[in-house]
Amino acid sequence: MEERLQKLIATAGLASRRHAEEMITAGEVTVNGQVVNTLGAKADPVRDHIKVRGKLINPLLAAREKVYVLLNKPRGYLTSVADPEKRPLVTELLPSAIGALHPVGRLDFNTEGLLLLTNDGDFTNFVTSARNGVEKVYEVKVKGRPPEQAIESLRRGITLPDDTRTAPAQIVKTYETATNAWFEVVLHEGRNQQIRRMFDSIGHSVIKLRRVVIGPLRNERLKPGEWRLLTPAEVARFKKPGAGRKQTSARKRRPAPTNLSRKRG
């Protein structure tokens, strides 16, 4: 049966669908020896020989078992499967025996916390698509004490310097000192360095940032760099209506976060 090339590449575990589309438009994909650089092109992995960067992916498609990993990403790791600058990659924190996985969305180099990795392109597409409303919750430490009026503007959504507009966000102040403030931020989208750019726009740069919730998955006792496999039930919960949304009001009543070094001010 024919399927879109970007879906086949994602299913093979080589990349997310978005990255697969970039590979296609860059001319890195061939079908039966012919370069295919048109998005929307289809192929049949039973009948056609599909290569990505010269590597035949048909055996990967035939033998691939879907894998879902939850990782506590440390600071100083790139959320990618490759880097020309040779910086440490999150994929290097996993054993090679687990197979080729790609990150679900991104956390920037200096952000820590929960990150999903998988070889299931459909799962990645579902979790990262803003229209599905999968919550991502972050604990944020910022420089200074932003006024409530500025935080309210972030809650409503703002226009960033690149003219993109952020969606409304839930933001709750959890603690403050004379020099810093801590917030819990709930997003349903994932623009590049969005939280850092949001707080930069009101003149209060982010000092520390940690993701503590993805959908129904909450922060656990995973130390930085540790990981575990998701259970089939956990994977299924992502697609249940309202997954990851019912806990928000309870989280607002929590005490200040203790894992962003608030004692140091």
Residues 6+ apart with CB under 8 A from 125: 10, 16, 17
**pLDDT per position as a tens digit, 188-198:** 887 788 999 99
- pLDDT on residue 82: 86
| CA separation for the pair 9, 16 (Å, rounded) | 8
Give the mean pLDDT of 27-40. Answer: 93
Q: Is 108 a catalytic residue?
A: yes
Selected catalytic residue, list 108, 120, 122, 163: 108
- Which amino acid type is present at position 79? T
Which one has a higher pLDDT value, 1 or 124? 124
- Listed in order, strand segments (DSSP E) in 100-188 are 102-103, 112-118, 136-143, 170-176, 180-187
- pLDDT on residue 42: 92
- Let me know: does 132 contact 167? Beta carbons within 8 Å: no
Whether the predicted pLDDT of 254 surpasses 70:
no
| CA separation for the pair 85, 166 (Å, rounded) | 30
Domains delineated in the chain: 3-63 (3.10.290.10), 134-217+244-264 (3.30.70.1560)
DSSP symbol at 159: B
The H or E element that residue 201 is part of is helix 194-201
**pLDDT per position as a tens digit, 52-71:** 999 999 888 876 778 999 99
- pLDDT on residue 241: 65
- Which amino acid type is present at position 235? V
- pLDDT on residue 251: 45
